[in-house]
Amino acid sequence: MIGVMGAGAFGTALAVSLARLGEVVALWAHDADHVAEMNAARENAKRLPGVALADNIRPTADIPDAGPLILAVPMQRLRGVLETHADALKGRLLIAACKGIDLATHLGPVETIAQVIPGAQPAILTGPSFAADIARGLPTALTLACGDAVLGERLQQALTTPNIRIYRTTDTHGAELGGALKNVIAIAAGAAIGKGMGDSARAALMTRGFAEIRRLAQARGAQPETLMGLSGFGDLVLTCTSDLSRNYRFGLALGRGEAFDSDTTVEGVATARAVTEWAGELGIDMPICSAVAALCAGKFSVAEALQSLLSRPLKEE
Ligand SMILES: NC(=O)C1=CN([C@@H]2O[C@H](COP(=O)(O)OP(=O)(O)OC[C@H]3O[C@@H](n4cnc5c(N)ncnc54)[C@H](O)[C@@H]3O)[C@@H](O)[C@H]2O)C=CC1
Ligand SMILES: O=C(CO)COP(=O)(O)O
């Protein structure tokens, strides 16, 4: 049995793909009404409409008491979910599937699990993949990072499905920071396109944004190869170039001066703020992330954000 905690688009898509292995997959949601709806309709109409839930997917409000658990809740909710259910989660194999940095602690998902749950064995599954693609059975490749190499290999085997190919690493810092920070750069890329600045500006933001990601992640001990891989470069490319990305679409709306649905999960907003505070404490220069944080907080217009970047002193690449 595999458990997925968080019945959003991504948790549901992972459950759908894992169910193709034939195992029972428990899909846990915190809202009992949502569980009842999914059981009645055999679909998650709220977050992943149009995708049938196979018979071996069990929507439930009870955390399964055995087997690995994938945590697919939004990053700013992760700590609360862990604290609320700490007794049920202690000593368990917990695989984060969220992307972001906690605003209150400036920790990523793996670090948060390790801090809150005593004896937990934390890992992260991350990389370029939209829930809709995974649920439709389209091919994807992800990174599984686990500090314990033996456990990581076990998880790589257990979570590989007919349409999810998994590469493994022990570099949890690199995997969690690449996945968190690409969302911030995607907001910048969307804003540039939305404002009509063109594809060249987007390429510049992606490249210089990647330099920021590397700078911060390596200061935290991440390995450059991880950042060059699926969880870093791969996910940066996907998220900055696809209309399926909510972070990118949020940026597009900012650039166009349009409203954006506040019920949509846009992880890059809180992460931009968290990373700006954190990088400031560490003395690391993160100009694009800082400009995105100011833009999201309404302190800058898109034009002012661009000006803040272009007016910086000239330097070596
Ligand atoms: N949607 C996608 O294509 C992908 C999403 N992710 C990551 O997965 C994480 C979750 O995103 P989505 O599933 O897309 O979000 P979503 O917006 O589709 O769903 C979020 C879910 O979290 C649940 N939730 C909110 N607060 C909760 C709480 N306190 N306790 C338990 N559940 C709670 C909501 O009920 C909702 O079902 C994010 O960190 C995102 O970056 C990663 C890869 C792809
Ligand atoms: O992480 C994702 C793709 O890998 C999903 O991106 P969004 O959260 O921007 O939709």
Smallest Cα–Cα separation from 96: which of 111, 85, 86, 106?
A: 111
Ligand 1 atom with least separation from CA of 134? 3
Q: What is the mean pLDDT of the chain?
A: 97
Reported ipTM: the value is: 0.99
pTM above the 0.90 mark?
A: yes
Q: Could you report the per-residue pLDDT of 76-113, keeping only the tens digit for each? A: 999 999 999 999 999 999 999 999 999 999 999 999 99
- Percent of the chain, pLDDT > 70? 100
With cut-offs at 50, 70 and 90, classify the pLDDT of residue 176.
Answer: very high
Tell me how long the chain is.
317
Q: Could you report the per-residue pLDDT of 25-50, keeping only the tens digit for each? A: 999 999 999 999 999 999 999 999 99
Residue 235 marked ligand-binding: yes
Confidence check: pLDDT of 182 > 90: yes
Confidence check: pLDDT of 195 > 90: yes
Residue 133 marked ligand-binding: no
Distance CA 74, CA 125 (A): 14
pLDDT value for 302: 94
Q: Which of 51, 243, 265 to mutate to test the pocket of ligand 1 (most atoms within 8 A of CB)?
A: 265
DSSP string, 209-231: HHHHHHHHHHHTT--HHHHHSII
With cut-offs at 50, 70 and 90, classify the pLDDT of residue 256.
Answer: very high
How big is the CA angle at 155 (ends 151 and 157), to the nearest 5 degrees?
Answer: 120
pLDDT value for 117: 97
Residue 195 marked ligand-binding: no
Ligand 2 atom with least separation from CA of 266? 8
Q: Could you report the per-residue pLDDT of 264-287, keeping only the tens digit for each? A: 999 999 999 999 999 999 999 999
- Ligand lying closest to the C-alpha of residue 247: 2
With cut-offs at 50, 70 and 90, classify the pLDDT of residue 118.
Answer: confident
Distance CA 107, CA 285 (A): 19
- Ligand lying closest to the C-alpha of residue 252: 2
